[in-house]
């Protein structure tokens, strides 16, 4: 099923991945004294130069990503999706007459190589922007450098909390995440508990890794906003025995449980809840919405409670299917319907939308950021991202799936924002 494939891209990507002038103006002032009147006239001419990577007929962008080694099956189709989108744009005349040139460096999923690649891209290649920054370790090692450079970075193939910013200012504005960020997902899961299930007391079982801690942080933030009681217990990532934490949550008699853990830990949590007689429904991360997870827990839950998961794309709508068909038309045949290629296509789309919005305006970094923030941007596979007012929170609309078989997650709620879930929109 296509939905299961989408879960694998975002799950795998989230787990496995996780200084030129910027249009500075020059003032030329010509002041002359009138011989007869003694007055002076001052004329100021301000010229704005394009940022690096921009010529009259081209826009150079780039990224580093793992296109060799263990992560090549993710990085190669991801980059192929970006290239395919740009080729489509260029075939149609480019963006306001400028064709997009995409350069790439294989960073082998190595933070040190990633940092060196970033320096090369910005200082030697002089790219205008980064498009599709790839992988948790590389992103974590380079995010401060990106901000120091002040270069726009569109789409991060990871969900680390370092990307989260509810109201970015200054150099923080340059990072524009699209893929879900775990902090935002924690807010979303708590909102689901309240808005969809009427929970008044929520239990969170979270892992002591970045993913679990970030989801907990988001849930705590939203619980405080909504005045909801929240109790939490920590377990080690990859733990095989979580009984003590589960006992504590069950004894608290919570209405709903958030499983703030990814991949190999969530089945252990669910099975322990079953064993201790919990009947509270549970929601978990989009990373876990995959047949590999449902196969492990379907027979255990056996109707005792329901297990739900988030999702961030809609592949059933006419618009999404048209986007998929368009991608398949432009991408190499080996990547037709490839879920990793789809995320690259999304990255290319978001970057291009910002350039298109500039129109005849001189493309500086500041102008580009303003354009990206001017109004929400539609995801070609469903939903939208709003960077306005400095929002850097990743995906802001998610759907809801439920396990209904050993290999099947069924969408039961369409893409909705937190405001819509809570009935505030």
* pLDDT tens per residue across span 11-22: 444 444 332 223
Position 263 scores a pLDDT of 81
Task: Answer yes or no: is 45 within a domain.
Answer: no
Check residue 425 and give its pLDDT. Answer: 58
13 and 102 fall within a common domain: yes
SS3 call for 102: strand
**Nearest CA-CA partner of 322 in 381, 379, 377, 376:** 381
Q: Are residues 325 and 304 in the same domain?
A: no
Query: What distance separates the 2 farthest-apart alpha carbons in the chain?
Result: 99
Same domain, 101 and 141: yes
- Range of the structural domain that residue 235 is part of: 183-311+398-421
Model confidence at 211, pLDDT cuts 50, 70, 90, reads very high
- Of 366 and 42, the structure prediction assigns the larger pLDDT to 366
What's residue 96's pLDDT?
Answer: 97
Whether residue 42 lies inside any domain: the answer is no
Same domain as 127, residue 249: no
pTM of the model as a whole: 0.87
Domain presence at residue 37: no
Q: In the chain, how many domains are there?
A: 2
388-405 pLDDT per residue, tens:
999 999 999 999 999 998
Q: Is residue 60 over pLDDT 80?
A: yes
| Domain assignment present for 29 | no
| More confident: 357 or 263 | 357
State how far the Cα of 383 lies from the Cα of 314, in Å rounded to an integer: 8
Domain identity same for 195 and 335: no
401-411 average pLDDT score: 92
Q: Are residues 346 and 241 in the same domain?
A: no
Q: Kind and range of the H or E element at 45?
A: strand 40-47
Looking at residue 8, what is its pLDDT? 41
34 pLDDT exceeds 70?
A: no
The pLDDT value recorded for residue 384 is 95
Neighbours of 243 (CB within 10 A): 13
- CATH for 287: 3.40.50.2300
Is 189 among the domain residues?
A: yes
Same domain, 194 and 298: yes
Q: Which uninterrupted H or E stretch holds 400? A: strand 397-405
Angle formed by the axes of helices 72-91 and 318-330, nearest 10°: 90
Residues pairing with 43 in the sheet? 30
Name the percent of the chain lying above pLDDT 90: 85
Distances (CA, A) of 417 to 110, 398, 423: 35, 7, 10
Whether 100 maps to a domain, the answer reads: yes
Average pLDDT of the chain to the nearest whole number: 90
- The neighbour count for residue 30, using CB atoms within 10 Å, is 9
């Amino acid at each position: 099923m296509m939905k299961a494939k989408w879960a694998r891209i975002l799950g795998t990507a989230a787990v496995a991945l996780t200084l030129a002038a910027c249009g500075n103006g020059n003032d030329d002032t010509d002041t002359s004294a009138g011989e007869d009147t003694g007055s002076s006239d001052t004329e100021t001419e301000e010229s704005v130069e394009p940022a690096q990577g921009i010529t009259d007929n081209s826009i150079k962008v780039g990224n580093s990503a793992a296109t060799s080694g263990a992560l090549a099956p993710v990085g190669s189709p991801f980059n192929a999706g970006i290239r395919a989108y740009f080729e489509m744009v260029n075939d149609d005349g480019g963006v306001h007459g400028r064709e997009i040139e995409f350069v790439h460096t294989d960073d082998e999923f190595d933070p040190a190589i990633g940092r060196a690649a970033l320096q090369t891209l910005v200082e030697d290649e002089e790219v205008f922007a980064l498009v599709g920054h790839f992988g948790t370790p590389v992103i974590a090692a380079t995010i401060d450098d990106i901000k120091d450079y002040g270069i726009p970075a569109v789409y991060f193939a990871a969900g680390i909390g370092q990307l989260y910013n509810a109201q970015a200012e200054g150099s923080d504005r340059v990072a524009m995440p699209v893929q879900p960020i775990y902090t935002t997902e924690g807010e979303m899961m708590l909102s689901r508990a309240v808005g969809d299930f009427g929970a008044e007391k929520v239990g969170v079982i979270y892992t002591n890794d970045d993913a679990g801690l970030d989801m907990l942080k988001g849930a705590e933030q939203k619980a405080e906003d909504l005045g909801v009681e929240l109790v939490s217990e920590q377990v080690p990532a990859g733990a095989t025995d979580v009984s003590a934490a589960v006992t504590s949550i069950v004894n608290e008699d919570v209405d709903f449980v958030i499983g703030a853990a990814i991949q190999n830990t969530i089945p252990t949590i669910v099975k322990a809840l079953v064993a201790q007689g919990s009947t509270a429904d549970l929601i978990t991360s989009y990373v876990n919405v995959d047949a590999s997870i449902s196969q492990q827990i379907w027979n255990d839950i056996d109707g005792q409670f329901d297990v739900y998961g988030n999702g961030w794309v809609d592949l059933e709508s006419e618009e999404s299917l048209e986007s998929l068909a368009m991608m398949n038309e432009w991408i190499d045949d080996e990547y037709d319907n490839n879920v990793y290629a789809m995320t690259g296509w999304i990255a290319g789309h978001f970057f291009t939308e910002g350039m298109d919005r500039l129109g005849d305006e001189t493309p500086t970094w500041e102008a580009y950021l303003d354009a990206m923030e001017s109004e929400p941007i539609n995801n070609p596979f469903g939903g939208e991202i709003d960077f306005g007012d400095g929002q850097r929170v990743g995906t802001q609309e998610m759907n809801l799936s439920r396990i209904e078989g050993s290999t099947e997650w069924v969408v039961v709620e369409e893409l909705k924002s937190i405001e819509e879930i809570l009935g505030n929109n």
